[in-house]
Amino acid sequence: MEHRDSRNISKNASYQSTGGRSAQEGSTSSQEGSTQRPRPINAEPTDEEGLLWYSGYKFEQYMTCANAEETLDPNRKIRFKIFENVITADLEEEGFNSIRLCSFAEIDALRKDEPIEIKLTGNESFTSKIHTYLHCAFANKKTIITGLRNENYVVTKVIERRTSDLVADLRSSSEGDSRADEKCFSFLYDVLAMTKHVLTRAKACRFIYMPRTGIIQFEPITILEVEKRGYRFPEEFQTKFQPD
């Protein structure tokens, strides 16, 4: 599989290159019960974060090459120039207006012209599978390469599967149900609809999701408050993409 530095995704019209920094900077959400502000973007990683990052780096190093003709070199250095795209999609709920969604996505690798998701995890839980599925669904990734690691950050198994197989797994697992993926999109529609409503009277929206109760709190905030929390909405996104 080709690494991110040599990809061509022009065949998919829904991809539009933005470049720049990590998409996570645009987030304005917080976790349940958290009273601490998010760590600044440029803060030094903790030891655990460093190990997670390095193990992910090595996994991608072993699983990719710079181009399709290159021989695999596990010791080569990966140039981490993050390749970002804005992907536009219409999220629809029966009986309601559709919502235009513009989301950031990073393409890990290409196999010929097909975007591939590469993921390393220590516990592929039901929630983790949902996260992976939604990410792949909006990024139009049809293949997932998953590395399973142990407590010592050693990869013990590598699984390749289609995104459609992950949907079937979600529907059949003991934690899931036959409409797991549909409920995810329905839930996302509700969150975006309320966010869009809040943004009619505010420049930004902060939301808090409490998974134990299923309650979501929405709060209008200013751009200054967003910046104080350490988040930055990429200027290139604002100038190039104007969601409805």
> Which ranges in 120-234 belong to alpha helices (H)?
126-139, 163-172, 180-198, 223-228
- Per-residue pLDDT averaged across 198-217, rounded? 83
Task: Name the more confident of 19 and 240.
Answer: 240
- Per-residue pLDDT averaged across 183-187, rounded? 82
Counting beta carbons within 10 angstroms of the beta carbon of residue 81, is it exposed (0 to 12), middle (13 to 18) or buried (19 or more)? exposed
Which has the closest alpha carbon to 134: 29, 126, 83? 126
Which has the closest alpha carbon to 182: 94, 68, 54, 55? 94
DSSP letters of 86-122? EEEEEE--TTS--EEEEEEEE--EEETTEEEEEEEES
Under DSSP, the state recorded for 213 is T
pLDDT tens column, 69-118 = 666 666 666 665 556 666 777 888 878 888 887 777 778 888 887 888 99
Q: Which two tokens stand for residue 13?
A: 């019209």
pLDDT for 171 beyond 60: yes
pTM metric for this prediction: 0.64
Task: Name the more confident of 196 and 243.
Answer: 196
Structure confidence at residue 174 (pLDDT): 60
- Strand 215-221 relative to strand 204-210: parallel, antiparallel, unpaired? antiparallel
- Per-residue pLDDT averaged across 197-215, rounded? 83
Residues 6+ apart with CB under 8 A from 105: 23, 84, 85, 86, 87, 135, 138, 139
Structure confidence at residue 148 (pLDDT): 92
Q: Which two tokens stand for residue 185?
A: 């999109």
Task: Name the more confident of 190 and 242.
Answer: 190
Average pLDDT, the chain: 71
pLDDT tens column, 11-63 = 222 333 333 322 222 233 323 333 334 455 456 778 788 888 888 888 887 88
Query: Burial code of 86-99, b = ≥16 C-beta within 10 A, e = fewer?
Result: bbbbebeeeeeeeb
Which has the closest alpha carbon to 156: 200, 123, 201, 118? 123
Distance CA 126, CA 158 (A): 18
Task: Name the more confident of 137 and 149.
Answer: 149
Structure confidence at residue 159 (pLDDT): 92
